[in-house]
Amino acid sequence: MKMKTENRNQFIRTGGVFSGLFLMLHIGFYWIFKWEQTLQVMNPTDKAIMLTLNLVGILFLIYTTGVSFLLTKQLSETITGRSILLFIASFYLLRIVSEFFLFGFVVPKSIIAVLLCLIPAVCYGLAAFLKPTKYVAI
């Protein structure tokens, strides 16, 4: 299926908006979930792993948000860019799968989480898979 390049770029930018929103959420995890208190029950190694993985997630979301807006054209027009788009889409799909197997699906909270992750997954996936239309100047 073919799609106008500008539509593909809009999908990438929409994914970037959601990545930016998830970035802000992850930055706030420490305070939202009161990790200063709640992580005290963990041994020091597990606590360090948890905090490090959140920092890595923040770094990934900074990257994802940035490339979505700064390298939109390259993401949609190159093989390397499309592979990055698929990787980002896979990140969000993995989060959806985690909702069922690790978090325990709870209505309505899980439905909201799945929908919020499905939007960028679809946006990045469509931008990666759909080929641009070629225009002929008349």
- 97-123: b (≥16 Cβ within 10 Å) or e: eebeeeeeeeeeeeeebbebbeebbbb
Query: Mind listing the pLDDT tens digit of every residue in the chain (138 residues)?
Result: 666 788 999 999 999 999 999 999 999 999 999 999 999 999 999 999 999 999 999 999 999 999 999 999 999 999 999 999 999 999 999 999 999 999 999 999 999 999 999 999 999 999 999 876 665 455
Q: Where are the domains of the chain?
A: 2-132
Q: Could you tell me the sign of the dihedral formed by the alpha carbons of 99, 105, 110, 114, in that order?
A: positive
